[in-house]
Structure 1
Amino acid sequence: MKIDWDRRTCSRRGHITYLPQEEHLREKLRADTALGEAWRCLRCGDFALGDPHGSGPAADAPLVPRGKVLRDLFILRFLAVERAIRGVFIVLAALAVWQFSNRQDAVRRFFDEKLALIRPVARHFHYDLDHSPVVGTIQQAFGYRHSTLLLVAGLLLVYALVEIVEGVGLWRAKRWAEYLTVVATAAFLPLEIYELTEKVSWLKIATLLVNILAVLYIALTKRLFGLRGGRTAFDEERHSASLLEVETSAGVPEPARNS
């Protein structure tokens, strides 16, 4: 089922209409109805009752995202939400490490007391807590220096800040955020691949695939790093679309362009 991104967006945000100074375009965008004057939406092409939202030369018509651009914006905002949520969880992890660094001895005593209580129960079910990987990892953490834990907490906060900044920038469709997302995500791909060599899990595989697809999608569709003509081709594409908004909405076909 094909999604009509234009009408889907207009149903949520409303139509966007424009009154061009050019007479031939104005007549094609305007219609008289029994309920009054109506103007064609620059996004979906449907007529909407009421006065236009703006006016001026056709070249100054607002750049209204539609079609493929709307689809790309939806995907970018999906990635933005994912980055923001991840950033929040990393902040919580950093706070947990920081609190642990300040209460390391108390946490160790509490852990040892509870471990002693449940050890007989675990033995009853033939489970050796003393050789448990989880227990071993926790006990290893108790041996870290206070300064080391503070460094880890600081690095986690920096990582969280990068994720949150990525999320905000992607939500606003900023080009610098697209570069930041591609570079930051690609930088962690070798680490994710290395983790798979240590232990394979469906979550790790899914995360790796999502990150690889995100890097390729953003880099190719946004023409980053000189791909597909680079910034020049990207600007020409957007500038051409802005000049043709009114003409296209008025029913004048766009000249063919090579994809």
Structure 2
Amino acid sequence: MTPATGPYQPDDPAEESRTNQTVATPMFEAESTMSARKRKQHARTHQRTSAKPSVTKGLRAVALFEGAKGMLVILAGCGLLSFIHKDIHTTAVRLVEHLHFNPAKHYPRIFLDATERVTDSELWALAVAALMYSGVRFFEAAGLWLGKKWAEWFGVLTGGMYIPVELYEVARGVSWPKVILLAGNIGVVAYLLYTLNRKETRRTPALQPSD
């Protein structure tokens, strides 16, 4: 007669404990590994989100300033077109007199001499150049408004190009318009450099591999 068989019952309780530990250990390690991976992935996602640069009010103020410059140049270009087939020199003389400038001074004299020799084709060329310049300013302003890095570098390069010229003009003769223009340009370039450096500082930890 064959004895009834049942579930295996180990004679040694220590052996049963070791068996359970052998089964549980790989499962625990797998769960721990998956949990660690999820934590690392969450940390990387959080770092990328934190490192993503935000568009500051100062950056948008610079964008509005650049857009305003573009608009002023467009208006100046339209004003030049209105003088085609007209005596622009006479209008320039009246403008200098209305502003109470001395026509014999350096800059009013240059302005009047230029208007005396200008032709209609030159007015068209100046108007087209003004339109192109305005387009560049609007393009830069849009990039700055959206917080684009290329727009910030473009603003630094174009703004920095004018600083030596403005310094030279201030050295030739100090006046409030020259000083304000120079200070404003230096302020814009310095702020854009500060913004670029801050973005790079925030971006660097996000690129470092996690342990």
Give 2:178's aligned residue. 204
Quote the offset at 1:195 in angstroms.
2.7
Separation (CA, whole Å) in 2 of partners of 1:197 and 1:205? 10
Q: How does 1:93-132 map to 2 (within 5 A)?
A: 93-100=76-83, 102-105=84-87, 107-108=88-89, 131=104
Residue type of the alignment partner of 1:103: H
Q: Share of identical aligned residues, percent?
A: 24
How many Å apart are 1:86 and its aligned residue? 1.2
Residues 238, 98 of structure 1: CA spacing in aligned structure 2 closer, same or farther, 3 A cutoff? farther
CA distance in 1, matches of 2:203, 2:51: 14
2:66 alignment counterpart? 83
Provide the residue aligned with 1:50 in structure 2.
Answer: none
Q: Is the 8 A contact 1:104 1:142 kept in 2?
A: no
2:200 is aligned with 1:235: no
Counterparts of 1:82 and 1:144 in 2: how far apart (Å)? 31
1:164, distance to aligned residue in structure 2 (A): 1.4
Residue 237 of structure 1 and its aligned partner are, at CA, apart by 4.5
In structure 1, runs of 5+ residues without a counterpart are 1-21, 23-56, 241-259
Q: Tell me if 1:160 matches 2:134.
A: yes
CA contact (8 A) 1:222 1:234 kept: no
> What runs of 5+ residues in structure 2 fail to find an aligned partner?
1-34, 36-41
Instruction: Give 1:189's aligned residue.
Output: 163
Deviation at 1:163, TM superposition (A): 1.6
Q: 2:123 aligns with which of 132, 149, 156?
A: 149
Residue 169 of structure 1 corresponds to: 143
Q: How many Å separate the matches in 2 of 1:128 and 1:164?
A: 33
The offset of 1:184, in angstroms, is: 0.7
Shift, 1:213, TM fit? 2.5
> Given the two structures, how large is their TM-score scaled by the length of structure 2?
0.60
More strand by share: 1
Partners of 1:157 and 1:141 lie apart in 2 by: 20
TM-aligned CA deviation for residue 162 of structure 1: 1.8
Structure 1 counterpart of 2:49 = 63
Q: CA RMSD in A?
A: 4.2
Distance in 1, matches of 2:58 and 2:50, equals 17
CA offset at residue 133 of structure 1?
6.7
- TM-superposition CA deviations, 1:228-255 (whole Å, max 9, x none): 9x95x55325668xxxxxxxxxxxxxxx
Cross-structure match for 1:41? none
For 1:91 and 1:84, the matched residues in 2 are separated by 11
Bigger Cα Rg: 2
Moved more, 73-82 or 129-138: 129-138
Q: Secondary structure at the match of 2:73?
A: helix
CA contact 2:76–2:130 (8 Å) conserved in 1: yes
| CA distance 1:210–1:109, shift in 2 (3 Å) | closer
Q: Using a 3 Å threshold, how does the CA distance of structure 1 residues 192 and 166 change in structure 2: closer, same or farther?
A: same
Give TM-score scaled by structure 1 length: 0.51
* Secondary structure, aligned partner of 2:147: coil
Q: How many residues are aligned here?
A: 169
